[in-house]
Structure 1
Amino acid sequence: MALSFVSILFCSSLILRASGTPLPTSSKCCHLLDSEFRGGEKVVYPQTSEYGILNTYFAPTSQQSPSCIFTPSDTSDISRAIKLFTRHSCKFAIRSGGHHYNAGWASINNGILLSLSNLNKVVYNPSSQSVFVESGNRWRKVYNTVEPYGRTVVGAQNSDVGVGGYLLNGGISFLADQYGWAVDNVREFEIVVADGRVLKANKYQNRALFRALKGGSSNFGVVTGFTLDTVESKLATGAYVEYPASSYDALINAAYQYCVKGEDSKSQVLFITWLTVKNGAVAVKDAISWIYTDVMDVANLPKALAPFTDGKIPSSLVQILGRNQTMGSHGHDLTQIQHPGVRTNRQTISIIPDIQLLKQLQRVLVKTAEQYKTIPGFTTDLIFQPIGKQWIAAGNAKGGNSMGLTEPVIILWVQPHWASAKDDEIIAEFVTKVITQFEKIAKDAGKLSNFEYLNYAGPKQGLMEGYGAESIRRLQSVKRVYDPKNVFGTLLPGGPKVPGLY
């Protein structure tokens, strides 16, 4: 009769103990977890096809090698697992959609990967115009569920992104200037805290925890579900525009005006510099991607968008994308542009809007990239996203969050791509070198913000320190109540942590 994996592992553990060799902690924890769930199919091991599927990430650079993968069916399973992890000091990681680029944030070596993929319910409530979304979902299913009712959600721009990590780290959406960060639109969190209790956090119950989770990442427990506000589904149109090098100064001048005026909450613009290597030299291409979240006539653009597409700034390419279609359709379209499987990482800073600073930062990127142009497949992007007064005010109107932003900033990030794993370390060096120079230049100019957006941050950046002293004090207070032993700081090693506690 064939022995089960559990039996083999148990016998192996006896041999190891008899020989005086201690059982590896991660293997022991997998064995205990398998025993807890009676050897069912919820614990997945290496060398199986399911393990390979569950351990595939959007960016290969974020993939690691867990000792096993736990696939809970519901919140009760997670509660039992967290109690077990705590009793036996089992290290683990939490994965929702696996879209973050940092190794160790939603992945782990020699530990347990808690995969939320089976927590995939999406239930719309027409009477409250809210939708309950379990954490293992991707935004595609959420959009597809609510939009037939004439509603949509403040969700990810790319509908393949997982729900959990995106929301807990803030969440940038096409609707941000109207409704704030995506997490500002959470009505209630369902969470398993460090002692295994399942709690609801909303503006009436566990109110301090409710606010802490709005940008507080995975510091307080495993969030298993979100009740989200829905909003009226309006049709939107997007565009992609490229500019020749001769238009760069005019483009940045217009970009600055757009950032500081913030006059139309239905518009959103991303400003992009693409660097590629052609004929042994770094080639620079500037572009924008904009979306207008209401019905519009592309022949008569809204005032906020007209400067970028009306011809006064010469452009080399104008593509109208997704003419008057839903938010979900735009999110689905973006999945066709942002392909998984490419080696990539990124780091971020935020700055106070300044024309000369933006121009100087681009020059630094181009100069630094010259030193790395021989790396196979090397390209890099410099992208910036304005966070304006309307965005911040919309979040505050919904009760505020943990991120501490009070004044407009530009979130700016550097994102390289390359071909081979052997170059991972040297590319990490490149990004750190660029961001370090950016920080110094911006600080010297008096234009550096301390804020770092978690979903774009590198693994070793300052992270939550930029939320500000008042916000950090609140987070520390909540942490002491709901995770006094710091389970989600020590047994969950990856991701941003509340500073100044342990």
Structure 2
Amino acid sequence: MASQTLYLYTATALAVLTTVLALRRKREPPRQQPAPKPHPLASVPSEQLPEYIQSLLAKLPNCVILQSDIAAFQQAVDGSWAQPNRKIIPACIVRPCDAQQLGTAVAILKREQDRRGQAGVPVAGFFAIRSGGVNPGLGASTVRDGVVVDLSKFCEVVPAVDGSTVTVGTGAKWIDVYKRLDEEGLVVIGGRNSPVGVGGLTLQGGISFYSPRFGFVCSNAVSYEIVLANGSVVTASASSHPALWRVLKGGSSNFGIVTRFTLRSLPSAPLWAAQIIAPASFQHAKAIKAYHDYLSHASSGQPGAFDENAAGPIMSFVYVQKIGLKLISINLVYTKAPENKQWPFHWKETGFPSLWSFKRSHAVESHTTAVERFGRTAPPGTRYTMGTTTIRNDAETMRAAYAIFCQTTTELRHVKGLLFPFVFQTILPGWANKGDPNILGLEGCTEPLIIINCAVMWANAKDDELVRSAVRRTLEQVDAAAVARRADHPYRFMNYCMEWQRPYKGCGEENVKLMREASQKYDPDGLFQNGCTGGFRLDFSS
């Protein structure tokens, strides 16, 4: 199930990109888009398709999209946000309309797993689950020559009568959720990115503007409707299947397919949001110091140092190949907008306002507007990748990480269309464990942690491996620098992890034990461990 949240392509980088694309469109005549080419399987008669696909067709005739329906199939394939994943072509796409249809599809997939096991045929990775499809990890929500279970029909947004909760379909986009809730004067503790799907973000952790008040997004899910490996549909909550309920808070798609979440909600109110854009050439050291000092103070325990209305500050160093410059973007949010609409005292007293900048802005706006403006990802159909690591709040390690970023962008300076944000975000001990218990492994969090993530975009397929390997090497070098300074931390924010990362290693032995037990109880034959590709699987080897 595709993750995603917060692929923080900063507003700075996106503004530059938009300008470049607009100029290019003015110079170049419009090009005719080639018609989609049929896959070799498109010419195979339906009766010669694999037996399990024939079963899907027989049981769910209106839910299966075959390659022979070229236009509909291409449109469905384009549900994957990143261009490289659109080149991983499945045999068919199944798009169920309700949990019962999904249960039927899962039961057929389970029979195929059993058949393969009995025949000695490899079981690994013959289907994938797609919620929003934004995660750029290779094969995150698609599979070559297998079945993609597309959850886009699960997109309802239904507030409770008393307004305390909202039931949201797993395939809904966060921006659509917020727009619907605007009509009710409500908001949920949810993602900060417009196109990201609800499912992946909520199951893998998720950070909200409201996390300082309520914790991770996953810790604010009251219940889950989930289809299990045997095709049955159950509701997991604190009182019904509580062990399953617990591991779904960070355990991703290891236990079944969640169709609906019931999320805590609260009355919506305007936010205060600001952005500072500065040159990195002579302001990076001051920006790093301001960020480090803020985290130190906010976690000091001094009266008033931690403010639950202050969303975690986001500091991005952005290299833009087109202009050959590195910029700094500082994004600040305060969820209790001051009446005078000026800088809240909490942010005014930090080192951020004193940064020399060539652009700064602040505004009081709705939550929906803030998400539309502030939280964006790469445009659909572009080439991009991500990756993440975690360090402690150590100034020397932060400076070393910035130097590593600079070295990487120097090596990649000839990559056409390169846009390389290197982003710092924070988890404060004041909110790490608010809300319901989760399995993220931060129960003993007593110090601020910094999530570092790369979110890189480029233009040409020939640079795919170069850029991907550079991102991985950059993060490995940051890890080494952190280890050398004893500033490393095992936690990995799963929403930003790529296919080569192993986030469960940072969850702690007890949480991994809980997940293994739940998997063995609810998926004893390992359908989601073995048959499902993408996401992150539990390690049963130890």
Taking structure 1 as the reference length, the TM-score comes to 0.90
Within 5 A, what are the aligned runs for 1:434-449? 434-449=474-489
The answer to whether 1:251 aligns with 2:291 is no
2:341, 2:364 within 8 Å by CA — same for their partners in 1? no
Q: 1:227 Cα deviation (Å)? A: 0.7
Q: Distance in 1 between matches of 2:382 and 2:42?
A: 36
The answer to whether 1:79 aligns with 2:103 is yes
Q: Distance in 2 between matches of 1:121 and 1:44?
A: 26
Q: Which piece of structure 1 moves more, 98-107 or 245-254?
A: 245-254
- The AA in structure 2 aligned to 1:82 is V
Q: 1:325 Cα deviation (Å)? A: 2.1
1:275 match: 319
2:94, 2:148 within 8 Å by CA — same for their partners in 1? yes
Q: Distance in 2 between matches of 1:108 and 1:413?
A: 25
Q: 1:176 Cα deviation (Å)? A: 0.9
1:19 match: none
Say which of 45, 50, 55 aligns to 2:67: 45
Write the deviation string for residues 129-186 of structure 1: whole angstroms up to 9, x where unpaired.
2111111111122212223332210111113211111111111111111111111110
Say which of 491, 494, 500 aligns to 2:531: 491
- The AA in structure 2 aligned to 1:260 is S
Say which of 410, 413, 435 aligns to 1:370: 410
Say which of 364, 368, 387 aligns to 1:347: 387
Seen in structure 2, the aligned counterparts of structure 1 residues 358 and 295 have a Cα distance that, compared at 3 Å, is same
1:65 match: 89
2:472 match: 432
Write the deviation string for residues 58-109 of structure 1: whole angstroms up to 9, x where unpaired.
2213332111000101000111111110111282111111111112111111
**SS state of the match for residue 54, structure 1?**
helix
**SS state of the match for residue 389, structure 1?**
coil
2:169 match: 134
Within 5 A, what are the aligned runs for 1:139-288? 139-244=174-279, 245-262=281-298, 263-268=306-311, 269-277=313-321, 282-288=324-330
**SS state of the match for residue 506, structure 2?**
helix
- The AA in structure 2 aligned to 1:190 is E
Say which of 401, 404, 408 aligns to 2:438: 401
- The AA in structure 2 aligned to 1:42 is V
1:219, 1:488 within 8 Å by CA — same for their partners in 2? yes
2:342 match: 299
1:93, 1:113 within 8 Å by CA — same for their partners in 2? yes
2:378, 2:457 within 8 Å by CA — same for their partners in 1? no
- The AA in structure 1 aligned to 2:464 is D
**SS state of the match for residue 254, structure 2?**
coil
1:67, 1:111 within 8 Å by CA — same for their partners in 2? yes
Q: Which piece of structure 1 moves more, 262-271 or 166-175?
A: 262-271
Q: 1:331 Cα deviation (Å)? A: 1.7
1:46, 1:52 within 8 Å by CA — same for their partners in 2? no
1:236, 1:292 within 8 Å by CA — same for their partners in 2? yes
- The AA in structure 2 aligned to 1:48 is I
- The AA in structure 2 aligned to 1:100 is N
2:42, 2:67 within 8 Å by CA — same for their partners in 1? no
The answer to whether 1:317 aligns with 2:326 is no
- The AA in structure 1 aligned to 2:336 is D
- The AA in structure 2 aligned to 1:291 is V
Q: 1:123 Cα deviation (Å)? A: 1.0
Q: Distance in 2 between matches of 1:392 and 1:58?
A: 30
1:264, 1:304 within 8 Å by CA — same for their partners in 2? no
**SS state of the match for residue 199, structure 1?**
strand
Q: 1:336 Cα deviation (Å)? A: 6.6
Seen in structure 2, the aligned counterparts of structure 1 residues 146 and 278 have a Cα distance that, compared at 3 Å, is closer
2:460 match: 420
Write the deviation string for residues 339-392 of structure 1: whole angstroms up to 9, x where unpaired.
323211011100111111111111111112222211211231110111001221
Report 1 or 2 for greater relative contact order, CA contacts < 8 Å, sequence distance ≥ 6: 2
Say which of 472, 493, 500 aligns to 1:453: 493
- The AA in structure 1 aligned to 2:282 is S
Count of aligned pairs between the two proteins = 476
Q: Which piece of structure 1 moves more, 335-344 or 407-416?
A: 335-344
1:6, 1:34 within 8 Å by CA — same for their partners in 2? no
Write the deviation string for residues 34-53 of structure 1: whole angstroms up to 9, x where unpaired.
1222x335334355222222
Q: Distance in 2 between matches of 1:373 and 1:7?
A: 44
Q: Distance in 2 between matches of 1:8 and 1:277?
A: 45
2:499, 2:535 within 8 Å by CA — same for their partners in 1? yes
Q: Distance in 1 between matches of 2:396 and 2:134?
A: 33
Q: 1:498 Cα deviation (Å)? A: 1.5
Q: Which piece of structure 1 moves more, 88-97 or 460-469?
A: 88-97
Q: Distance in 1 between matches of 2:68 and 2:500?
A: 29
Q: Distance in 1 between matches of 2:403 and 2:452?
A: 15
Q: Distance in 1 between matches of 2:105 and 2:130?
A: 15
Q: Distance in 2 between matches of 1:200 and 1:102?
A: 30
Say which of 37, 44, 55 aligns to 2:77: 55
The answer to whether 1:35 aligns with 2:58 is yes
Q: Which piece of structure 1 moves more, 207-216 or 134-143?
A: 134-143
Q: Distance in 2 between matches of 1:258 and 1:276?
A: 27
Q: Distance in 2 between matches of 1:455 and 1:213?
A: 14
**SS state of the match for residue 225, structure 1?**
strand
- The AA in structure 1 aligned to 2:530 is T
- The AA in structure 2 aligned to 1:436 is E
Q: Aligned-pair RMSD on alpha carbons?
A: 2.1
Q: Distance in 2 between matches of 1:335 and 1:251?
A: 21
Please list every run of 5 or more consecutive structure 1 residues that lacks an aligned counterpart in the other structure: 14-22
Seen in structure 2, the aligned counterparts of structure 1 residues 148 and 359 have a Cα distance that, compared at 3 Å, is same
